[in-house]
A and B are shown apart, each in its own frame.
Chain A
Amino acid sequence: MAVVAAGRVLRLGGRWSAAASGGPSAQTLRLIYTTTAAWRKNVAASGPEKYTEAFIKKQIEEFDLGKRHLANMMGEDPETFTQEDIDRAIAYLFPSGLFDKRARPMMKWGEDGRPFHFLFYTGKQSYYSLMHETYEKLLNVQKHQDQLVAQGFSLQKEKKNLVGSRWLTKTELEGMLLEKLSDDDYSRFIRLLEKLMTLPCSDIEENYIKKFSKEIAVQLQKVSTEPLKYDEQGVAFSTGEGVRKTSRATAVVYDNGTGKITVNGIDILRYFPVLQDREQLLFPFQFLDRVGKHDAICTVSGGGRSSQAGAIRLATAKALRSFVTETEVEFMRQAGLLTVDPRVRERKKPGQEGARRKFTWKKR
């Protein structure tokens, strides 16, 4: 790089130290090392832009060319493309919301200076007018109540079920009012609404209250059990999936069986030599007193022997839900047969030997 730079210096005449005598070859050439930054034209330092004739002519040519391109784009004749056509084309190609009616500034006061809203001078006109309206509804309801009491009717205190609905959040209310609210303001408004709700005759103003409440989808508490499926021979079967640590298992449990369980095509006696794992597999059937009544074909992958056993256990338990009554499903759930074991291997941390084990502490 330095050589190239030096070479460039050699070639440019003006960078030489102005020695009056002879040509560069006759003297010892003094290299002035310059960087690329110095070669680039300093646009700012060259002074204000000079609109020379040539410059203007070039700009006009470019404009005409662009105009012809634009006319071609719009599918119109390039020869007869006027300035109005250009404006229309640009408005079509780049639609701007700047001239939209809705983009006009909202004036808060008229020509004579009088504000439009009667609560303008409070600063928070929408919020306070909302409070004013809500309080008016409250007074209305109280008046209605008084009338009923005067006529002799007793007021019913029904407890309305509020489970399926919630009030608007602060951000939603801000969006509705187009004004910033503080937390205090918001809580005050919600308290006023709740006071309105608790009155016995608040049914009159139900429509008004509904404006500020939203329905939340009631989450189903019960997970519905899948129905039994029937294969070609007419034997009922059901599938289930289970996970444990890194193992993933699927089980297909058939009715009218002999208690034969196959895992990945291998009999459990061969696949799980250890008694503990086979006990795990047996547990769901044993719990439901259906030990020799079902056949199971399972597939499992990942993990070690114990976790594979646990995964298959969960899968078979899930599959058995379809064969069994709801109360028994509840018993299974309480026994922990249907819960996914959340325990996974904890990572090793730096500065420690294991996840929890620290290095041997040496006093000195």
Chain B
Amino acid sequence: MRGRRGRAAALPGSGGGRGGSGKFGSSSSSSATEMAVPRILRAAAPRLYSGLPAPAALTAAAARPRDPEDKLLAEPLRHPDFFKVKNLFTLKDLFDARVHLGHKKGCRHQFMKPYIFGCRLDQDIIDLDQTMQHLQLALNFTAHVAYRKGIILFVSRNRQFCHLVESTARECGEYAHTRYWQGGLLTNAHIQFGPGIRLPDLLIFLSSLNNVFEPHVAIRDAAKMNIPTVGVVDTNCNPCLITYPIPGNDDSPTAMELYCKLFKMTIIHAKNKRKQIEVFQELQSRQKGDTSRPVVAEGQA
């Protein structure tokens, strides 16, 4: 069934898939996680498939057997944690980086209640078990996007960490936007940048508020343009419209450094994995060489 779902890539089901199954349920039971992960990934798969730039070889190869294509793109989707994201961090790491510290009770956003463990001396404490699950999902999703050569845009309007976020983006070969967000950047891109521009395939918010403590405009714009988002939501943020929210602290330097490190590692790891598999497949096809089947040209950019 999963295979058939994968084949139905060209259907414009991405919009429905986006709106309906994007949000992770508020239930924090661990048994639901394993079921939830493949469900969300399967929902995400159609969008990713259609988001790829369609090289000419792809349409031509539709008639030919798609085995190498399959191995390259569908193989990671068969495993719940293909990129072993769970090994990147532990609960203790999150605690040491003070990710569990939220804002004061008065700043609490109503929709963040399910993610909050409790309140001590008026300060909200975020449930790190839930944060673990959400972070794993988010990192897994970023890894898949990076594996499929998607454009990732880091967004953060926190002036304290602007330089850190930009450096992180530069080091993993992706893009950053920590400056004033011009209104029509995503929605009016063809006029602002020129025709033929490719929009980001994933937006990562390391702080989902802007300088006036309002939800960042990019969250709404990304939802309008059907671009999935990953976002670190603090206790005063609105987690709606963010595809993969990560409840956690976005104000401490240690927490931000941890997030940046994790995202950078996942993206670099995923890209390396992709290169590895491509090289491996090339070697395999060369070995098979001039035997019966002609070498299938792989649609690589």
Contact = CB atoms under 8 A, between A and B. Distances in A.
B127 to A, nearest CB: 34
A111 B198 CA distance: 11
Contacts of B193: 108, 123
Nearest to A123: B182
Interface stretch (B6-14, B28-36, B173-181, B236-244): B173-181
Given A108-B194, A113-B53, A115-B151, 13 more contacts: A108-B193, A109-B198, A112-B53, A115-B175, A118-B166, A119-B176, A121-B153, A121-B185, A121-B200, A122-B177, A123-B193, A132-B163, A132-B166
A114 B200 CA distance: 9
B212 interface: no
B261 interface: no
Interface of A: 108-109, 111-115, 118-124, 128, 132, 135-136, 139
Contact of A113 (B177, B182, B198): B198
Contacts of A132: 163, 166
Contacts of B177: 119, 121-122
B197 interface: yes
A135 B162 CA distance: 10
B130 to A, nearest CB: 31
B contact face: mostly helix, strand, loop, or mixed:
loop
B301 interface: yes
B175 A119 contact: yes
A118 B163 contact: no
A313 B176 CA distance: 73
Given A108-B193, A118-B169, A118-B170, A128 B179 contact: yes
B231 to A, nearest CB: 17
Interface in B139-155: 149, 151, 153
Contact of B175 (A112, A120, A135, A136): A120
B192 interface: yes
B192 A121 contact: no
A123 B192 contact: yes
A104 B301 CA distance: 23
26 contacts: A108-B193, A111-B301, A112-B149, A113-B53, A114-B151, A115-B175, A118-B166, A118-B170, A118-B175, A118-B176, A119-B177, A121-B153, A121-B185, A121-B200, A122-B179, A123-B182, A123-B185, A123-B192, A123-B193, A124-B179, A128-B179, A132-B163, A132-B166, A135-B163, A136-B163, A139-B163
- Scoring A109, A124, A136 by chain B CB atoms within 10 A of each residue's CB, the highest score goes to A109
B23 to A, nearest CB: 26
A192 to B, nearest CB: 12
A98 to B, nearest CB: 21
Interface in B267-301: 301
A139 B177 CA distance: 20
Interface string B195-234: 0111010000000000000000000000000000000000
Nearest to A184: B180
Nearest to A124: B179
A109 B200 CA distance: 13
A346 to B, nearest CB: 54
Contacts of A109: 197-198
Nearest to B155: A121
Nearest to B186: A121
B55 to A, nearest CB: 9
Nearest to A117: B175
Nearest to A128: B179
A118 B53 contact: no
A312 to B, nearest CB: 67
Contacts of B151: 113-115
A139 B193 CA distance: 32
A105 to B, nearest CB: 10
A166 B175 CA distance: 34
Contacts of A119: 166, 175-177
A112 B185 contact: no
Contacts of A114: 149, 151, 198
Nearest to A136: B163
Interface string B10-44: 00000000000000000000000000000000000
A118 B175 CA distance: 5
A135 B176 CA distance: 16
A95 to B, nearest CB: 30
B197 to A, nearest CB: 7
Nearest to A120: B175
A92 to B, nearest CB: 36
B5 to A, nearest CB: 26
A112 B299 CA distance: 12
A113 B54 CA distance: 11
Contacts of A135: 163
A112 B163 contact: no
A118 B179 contact: no
A109 B198 CA distance: 9
Contacts of B192: 123
Contacts of A121: 153, 175, 177, 185, 200
A121 B204 CA distance: 14
